[in-house]
């Protein structure tokens, strides 16, 4: 009996040794083999994206966003200019005043597109069943808004600041949509248009100064020399900015800043592009202060309806239309 017991004990111990050896050797892979396994998994993940056509991109806030292969219902409030330039029609377009006011200069392309409030209420966004949301700036998704929008559709934030370089925004939008080559062509065409217009304007007016003013609600606003149409005038075309324009821009980060009557009286612009939202009979246009501005006295005021023109906006289409307006007005 003792021999038999010792035999079974020895047999059990031998089994335990085999079991322990098997466990310790179950993951007997080299570091190189482990790296190969990881690469294989990564390749499988990538091939999965390629199979579905989805792509993962990183937005301006560092969010990794999985973009559908061919998004059909895109909402890109205040970024419609870029979509149109890339031959994409959004599901809804930016608007204010309960849809009564839209970006008039884009209506040849967006005339049949329904409107959505500029601040993108969640219920309104969801009603369009979008498959991609493009947000102009980080300010549009403050607080927990990003999470809320992301529950509706993949959400990509194009720029960090309120005012971002439009060329960068175009390229970011193009990256999301897989249209990088088309965006580059748009930029190349724009730069060529800038050079042609710059040469023509310099030949026509030399170093004479230009200001862009917006009249609405009985108040004049002057464009910032670095933003919106100011960017086109003073950076792209390198025309001379009146001192008052530079002074006001230095103390404001807004695209358009109110100009007091005192400062308006000091505006020594040789040419004025006027965006008139108050109509031809506007009281401010009859005031002596306005009438004494050099550009007004010399008949060098070029007036546009602020509802339909592109001068209040920015983007490849808006800026191209501004160049056309400038050349048409200044070059005989």
Last residue of a domain, one of 118, 152, 178: 178
Identify the burial level of 13 via C-beta atoms within 10 angstroms of its C-beta, where 0-12 means exposed, 13-18 middle and 19 or more buried: exposed
Position 21 confidence tier, pLDDT thresholds 50, 70, 90:
very low
Position 23 confidence tier, pLDDT thresholds 50, 70, 90:
very low
Position 160 confidence tier, pLDDT thresholds 50, 70, 90:
confident
Is 254 within a domain?
yes
Share of the chain above pLDDT 70, in %: 84
Predicted pLDDT at 2: 42
Q: What are phi and psi of 4, to 5 degrees?
A: -65, -45
Nearest-angstrom CA–CA distance, 294 and 298: 6
Is 81 within a domain?
yes
Residue 18 has pLDDT above 50, yes or no: no
Is 162 within a domain?
yes
β-strand 132-137 against 155-159: which pairing, if any? parallel
Predicted pLDDT at 163: 83
Judgement on whether residues 148 and 189 belong to the same structural domain of the protein? no
Is 107 within a domain?
yes
CATH code assigned at 243:
3.40.50.1980
Predicted pLDDT at 253: 84
Is 213 within a domain?
yes
Q: What is the pLDDT of residues 132-157, one digit of tens each?
A: 999 999 999 999 999 999 999 999 99
Q: What are phi and psi of 317, to 5 degrees?
A: -75, -45
Predicted pLDDT at 241: 96
Judgement on whether residues 140 and 215 belong to the same structural domain of the protein? no
Is 44 within a domain?
no
β-strand 301-305 against 155-159: which pairing, if any? unpaired
Judgement on whether residues 122 and 195 belong to the same structural domain of the protein? no
Nearest-angstrom CA–CA distance, 191 and 165: 15
Last residue of a domain, one of 154, 178, 202: 178
* Mean pLDDT, residues 97-122: 96
Mean pLDDT value across the chain = 88
* Range(s) of the domain holding residue 68: 52-178
Position 39 confidence tier, pLDDT thresholds 50, 70, 90:
low
Judgement on whether residues 142 and 190 belong to the same structural domain of the protein? no
Predicted pLDDT at 14: 46
Q: What is the pLDDT of residues 243-280, one digit of tens each?
A: 999 999 898 888 999 999 999 999 999 999 999 999 98
Is 268 within a domain?
yes
Predicted pLDDT at 38: 53
Question: Which position has the token pair 């506007």?
Answer: 282
Nearest-angstrom CA–CA distance, 293 and 290: 6
Q: How many residues does the chain have?
A: 332
Identify the burial level of 47 via C-beta atoms within 10 angstroms of its C-beta, where 0-12 means exposed, 13-18 middle and 19 or more buried: exposed
Nearest-angstrom CA–CA distance, 288 and 277: 20
Judgement on whether residues 171 and 206 belong to the same structural domain of the protein? no
Are the beta carbons of 314 and 228 closer than 8 angstroms?
yes
Judgement on whether residues 173 and 187 belong to the same structural domain of the protein? no
Last residue of a domain, one of 146, 178, 210: 178
Q: Is the model more confident about 318 or about 26?
A: 318
Position 47 confidence tier, pLDDT thresholds 50, 70, 90:
low
Residue 304 has pLDDT above 50, yes or no: yes
C-alpha 123 chain-centroid distance: 23
Residue closest to 85 by CA, chosen among 161, 156, 189:
189
Give the chain's domain count. Answer: 2
Judgement on whether residues 188 and 274 belong to the same structural domain of the protein? yes
Torsion of CA 35, 36, 40, 45, to 10 degrees: 20
Nearest-angstrom CA–CA distance, 269 and 212: 9
Are the beta carbons of 224 and 249 closer than 8 angstroms?
yes
Residue 20 has pLDDT above 90, yes or no: no
Is 123 within a domain?
yes
Residue 206 has pLDDT above 60, yes or no: yes
* Mean pLDDT, residues 93-114: 95
Q: What is the pLDDT of residues 168-185, one digit of tens each?
A: 999 999 999 999 999 999
12-21, 115-124, 162-171, 190-199: least confidently modelled range: 12-21
Q: Dmax over Cα atoms in the chain, in whole Å? A: 127
Predicted pLDDT at 154: 98
Predicted pLDDT at 303: 97
Position 332 confidence tier, pLDDT thresholds 50, 70, 90:
confident
């Amino acid at each position: 009996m003792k021999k038999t017991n010792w035999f079974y004990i020895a047999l059990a111990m031998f089994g335990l040794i085999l079991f322990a050896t098997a466990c310790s050797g179950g993951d007997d892979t080299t570091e190189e083999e482990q790296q190969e396994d990881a690469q294989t998994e990564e390749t499988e993940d990538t091939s999965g994206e390629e199979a579905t056509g989805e792509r993962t991109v990183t937005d301006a806030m560092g969010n990794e966003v999985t973009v559908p292969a061919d998004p059909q219902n895109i909402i890109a409030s205040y970024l419609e200019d870029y979509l149109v330039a890339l031959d994409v029609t959004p599901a809804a377009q930016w608007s204010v005043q309960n849809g009564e006011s839209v970006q008039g200069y884009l209506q040849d392309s967006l005339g049949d597109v329904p409107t959505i409030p500029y601040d993108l209420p969640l219920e309104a966004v969801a009603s369009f069943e979008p498959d991609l949301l493009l947000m102009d700036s980080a300010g549009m998704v403050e607080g927990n808004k990003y999470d809320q929008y992301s529950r509706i559709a993949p959400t990509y934030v194009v720029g960090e600041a309120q005012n971002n370089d439009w060329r960068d925004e175009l390229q970011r939008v193009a990256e999301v949509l897989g249209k990088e080559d088309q965006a580059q062509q748009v930029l190349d065409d724009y730069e060529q248009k800038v050079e042609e217009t710059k040469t023509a304007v310099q030949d026509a007016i030399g170093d004479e100064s230009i200001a862009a003013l917006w009249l609405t609600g009985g108040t004049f606003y002057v464009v910032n020399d670095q933003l919106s149409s100011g960017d086109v005038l003073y950076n792209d075309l390198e025309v001379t900015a009146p001192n008052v324009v530079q002074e006001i821009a230095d103390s404001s980060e807004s695209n358009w800043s109110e100009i007091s009557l005192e400062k308006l009286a000091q505006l020594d612009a040789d040419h004025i592009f006027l965006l008139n939202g108050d109509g031809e009979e506007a009281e401010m246009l009859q005031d002596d202060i306005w009438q004494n501005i050099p550009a007004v006295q010399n008949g060098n005021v070029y007036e546009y309806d602020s509802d339909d023109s592109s001068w209040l906006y920015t983007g490849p289409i808006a800026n191209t239309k501004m160049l056309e307006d400038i050349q048409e007005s200044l070059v005989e």
